[in-house]
Each structure stands twice: as C-alpha cells, then as structure tokens.
Amino acid sequence: MGDALLAGLLAGYGVAVPVGAIAIVVIGLTARTSLRVGAAAALGVAAADGLYAALAVLGGAALAGLVRPVATPLRWAAVVILLFLAGQLAVGALRRHRRPPGPARAERGLATPGRAFAGLLALTLLNPMTIVYFVALVIGRQASGGWTPAGQVVFVAAAFAASASWQLLVAGGGSLLGRLLTSDRGRLVTALLASALIVLLALRMVW
C-alpha cells in the first residue's frame, strides 16, 4: 500500500510539475478572472491526469496474465520508455531555455468555473504522452508483481492528489508565482525537476 502511494505521488508530480501551455492557461485564468475559476481549471487538469492513471491501471490489470511470461523484458521496456520521456522533457527544456515561447492567452470562454474545469479537462486529455506515461508506469509495475485492487485505488488517488496539489498551487500562487514559474529559468527548473522524478520512477523499477 505504501509503495502504491509513493508511486502514485511521484507519478502525479512527474506529469504535473512541468510548466507548459496548460499551466500558463491556468495562471492566466486566475490572474484575469478569480481564484475560483483558476482552481476549477486546475482541478480539470488533475481530473484528466487521474482519469488517465485509472485507465492505465485498469488496462494494466487486464494485461496481467499476458505480462507474467514476459515480465522481465516488459519491465525493461517500461524503464526505457520512462527514461526516453524524461530525456525528451529535459532536452526540450534546455532548448527552450535559450528561446522561450511567448505566454499563452486564456480563452474568454473559460471565464466561469464550470467552463474552466471542462475546458482544461479536454485540453489535458488531448495530450497523448500522458496516457503513454501512465501505461508505462503501470505495465512496468505489473511486470514486477503488480498491486492489489486496493493498491491500484491508492495509486490513482495519489496521482490525482499530487497533480491537483501542484495545479492548485500554480493557480493559487497569484501573479507573482505565475511570473516565477513561467519565466525562462522557471520553465527550465520545473522541467528538469519533473525529468528527475520520472528517472527516479524508472530506477525504482530496476531496484
């Protein structure tokens, strides 16, 4: 149970910490509307992460019988995928460090809590790398023995809680935190931090 909790927290922060276009929209909504709207948008992002984590867990459980005969190769494949994602994140951050993108503008249609939640949920679900990320984690874990049903629930809940806590921090930090995180250096630091978290998850599979 404790292992599932730790893995879920690391997974949630690993996918949530990088500051990209979605985080900038959340920050922009908070600055231009209200904390209530920003918090709704943040929870929309976290809900998408939690949904993808749940889908990965359900799919991983269904594949458990297929995983056992090829457990070791699958575990190493999952490690390779996670390291690849971490590398892409770090390299992309280093490239953007010299040429940071301009700030994204929040849509007027997201100016109410309900629309902000639905809009950010949809935007986050459109990122295919999120489901690849969670599937790699879960399949790697299945190859190592998997979690109990209670452990799967804890993993999904922890991933959602980690993502929600970070997104709410971004939304609630106000314009000062927004300027810090979306600056050239802030993008680099948060991306490298998330890359390190993903590498840590991969190393836990090897251990």
Q: How far is CA 71 from CA 155, 171, 189, in A?
A: 20, 41, 35
pLDDT per residue rounded down to tens, the chain (207 residues): 677 888 888 888 887 877 666 777 787 777 777 888 889 999 999 999 998 888 888 876 565 555 556 667 766 776 777 677 678 767 877 777 776 555 544 445 677 899 999 988 988 887 666 777 777 777 776 666 667 778 888 989 999 999 999 999 888 875 555 556 666 777 677 667 767 877 776 777 666
Structurally, the chain folds into a number of domains equal to 1
**Separation between Cα atoms, residue 120 and residue 98, nearest integer Å:** 28
Surface-to-core class of residue 69, CB atoms within 10 Å of its CB (0-12 exposed, 13-18 middle, 19+ buried): exposed
Q: What is the pLDDT of residue 71?
A: 62
Residues spanned by the domain of 186: 2-206
